[in-house]
Amino acid sequence: MTFWGFMEYAAWALSAVFGLYIVTDWLRTDATYPEDVLTSSREGEIEAMTEEHRM
């Protein structure tokens, strides 16, 4: 096997490891925090407090 062939397999293996880590982290985060915490937006709350609505 050539050097570049080995590097190709190493890159695929590394991408599989990263993919498994992402899925594991997603499931762990989903199990740890409730949906309302995950969908809240701190930036949106700050913007809502500072906006002035005039009619």
Q: What are the tens digits of pLDDT across the range 20-48?
A: 999 999 999 999 988 877 776 666 665 66
CB-side exposure of 53: number of CA atoms within 13 Å? 3
Measured CA to CA, the distance from residue 19 to residue 4 in angstroms comes to 22
In this predicted structure, the answer to whether residue 53 has a pLDDT above a threshold of 90 is no
pTM above 0.75, yes or no: no
Tokens of 36: 């309302």
